[in-house]
Chain A
Amino acid sequence: MSTAVMFGSLKFSSSPIFDEAQVDVYGSNVWVIEEGDGDPIVYLHGFADVPGLAGDTPPLQQELAKKLHVIALAYPACSKSQEREELDTMEDLIFHYLDVFEALKLKEFHLVGSCLGGWVAAEIAVRYPEKIRSLSLLGATGLFVKGHPIADIFWVAQPEDGLYYNDLRTLLFSAPESKIGNELFPDGRGDLDEELLRYGMFRFASRFGFSPPYLHNRKLRNRLRRYKGPALIIWGENDHLVPQEHAAAYSQELGNAPIEIIAGTGHSVQVEAPDECATRLIKFIGENS
């Protein structure tokens, strides 16, 4: 089996700033967006920043790339990454990322994850702490916090009256009328390509997060002690999907990691306040390089 990294011959290059490529990982294509110089950071996205949905490159990555070497990876079934039917569990997904890191020759890096990406990042960090220079979690799912369940995003992803996604926007953003929320998750039928980007993300998320335990792993909390490196927790003030108690739980288990609450934002803090997030991430990663 060959591991061909195709950065030399880009298949797609629609962004003038960012390099984008499909990287062949043991026969499965993974969509990678890469830009900037400096320390490598691997970014794992959430529902609201599937690459391609908010423009070719989501705004947070653009801000981060001004100072850092950003490598954003689209999950299987998301963007131009191939869907992998054989992935069933978080364990499978982590093996997928081991292959991806190997293909990209990534040995040590800063790891940043939003939403579901935060969960995946934490699961990687507890298993391979030696790879992770710093861990940043934004509105991360992944934990079980008794009495504060993660809300059901799959239920509200089904439209009301065939047209309306108010409840979905409530979970993903500060409020259903959020401007960015209506751009990314409009009522009715959006552009076909964007509909498919959203659908692919839901296929991916349903694969790992639909069945109980719902968008989390009960064992993760105890395992967080395995990661002893620097960590930063960023959360939206009005996160209706993952309650703030989860930020506190992550912080507690990650050596009292600092929590940054971004005022006026909801769950998708990475697209609702990309500048504020970038400032904090650049500072934190700079201090830990």
Chain B
Amino acid sequence: MIDMMTHGRLIAGFVVGGGSEAFNYNITSVKARSQFWEGCDLITRAWTDEGPFEHEGEHYPLRYVNIWPKPRQKPHPEVWIPGSLSIETMEECAKRGYNYFLSSRVHGSATKAAVNRFSQIVEDHGSTYHPYRMGVLLSVYVAETDEQAREEASEGVWYFLRNLLKGHLRREGRTQTFGPGIPSQSKRSWENYLKNSEPGRDLLGDAKDWETLDAGGSIIAGSPETVRRRLMELIELAGVGNFLIQFHFGNMKPELARKSMHLFATEVMPTLRQQSAELFARDFPSLDEQLGKDS
């Protein structure tokens, strides 16, 4: 229905969930992934197959599935799956042709490493990586000058970091993202995580000052020129073609968020689109063909 109302602009984001969902809904995390992927497959089949059909699922057995209306986009809206680097999520996305977006708020070289891992996995599944197969979650605030951006964004950013990241993207307190009590990852994935992470390190929500945040690159505030430059640097480094941007933070006044979004749409996005298109055309010669094939 939303796809119809938006003339085919729906992007479907499916999220497996972590501790908050496991503890609140009393569902063991061990089964979460198999439930999740069955759900994804059921939804995409309901979008594409003529009903009624029977879904012989382990978790959601349904005798009659028959949705109306079908989405406007054919074969179906793009599916985006967030992940924090787990191999399984990347593999399952690659298998289904879904797009992967990195939600773990690591940036710069860590984003590049994630892109490398995902593109390898995409290739292992017989397809070719291109920048629109992946996205990155980050936060942006645009104002007239760098100083003004920092001044206007500060209160909302700190409110967001201090109050809205409990148990997630924060070392302080009890983590609820994943772990032994929320063991959704296989032992193989967990081993990989242990080998590539350092316990007790500071996460996004632990930043003590603006300089740390700014250096982290997950929250970018500045003039249109600054924001454009920093996002373009990330695009060049990582080869990622989609950003999922948080424009509103914590208790930020709505008019500030709207002003920032307006500046982004008029003074950042057009140049970014053009420059990234040129860059991708050079680095990914068969991109047009791939997009034609995928869409």
Contacts and interface: CB of A to CB of B under 8 A. Distances in A.
B174 to A, nearest CB: 5
A13 interface: no
Contact of B194 (A83, A189, A207): A189
Interface stretch (A35-43, A160-168, A278-286): A160-168
23 contacts: A83-B187, A155-B174, A155-B181, A156-B181, A158-B175, A158-B176, A158-B180, A159-B199, A160-B173, A160-B174, A161-B172, A161-B173, A162-B199, A189-B199, A192-B195, A195-B190, A199-B187, A202-B181, A202-B183, A206-B183, A207-B30, A211-B28, A212-B26
A156 B194 CA distance: 19
Contacts of B187: 77, 83, 196, 199-200, 203
A210 B191 contact: no
Interface residues of B, number: 31
Contacts of B180: 157-158, 198-199, 202
A158 B183 contact: no
Interface in B142-157: none
B23 interface: yes
B239 interface: no
Contacts of B34: 85
B171 interface: yes
- The residue among B28, B171, B175, B179 with the most chain A CB atoms within 10 A of its own CB is B28
- The residue among B175, B186, B199 with the most chain A CB atoms within 10 A of its own CB is B199
Given A161-B171, A161-B173, A206-B30, 16 more contacts: A77-B187, A88-B31, A154-B182, A158-B176, A160-B173, A162-B171, A162-B200, A162-B201, A189-B198, A192-B195, A196-B190, A202-B180, A207-B31, A210-B26, A210-B27, A210-B29
A27 interface: no
A188 interface: yes
Contacts of B175: 158-159, 162
- The residue among B22, B180, B181, B195 with the most chain A CB atoms within 10 A of its own CB is B180
B29 A206 contact: yes
A163 B180 CA distance: 13
Given A189-B194, A206-B30, A155 B200 contact: no
A80 to B, nearest CB: 11
B222 interface: no
Contacts of B201: 162
Contacts of B200: 161-163, 188
Interface in A123-174: 153-163
Contacts of A154: 23, 181-182
A192 B191 contact: yes
Contact of B182 (A77, A158, A200, A211): A158
A158 B181 contact: yes
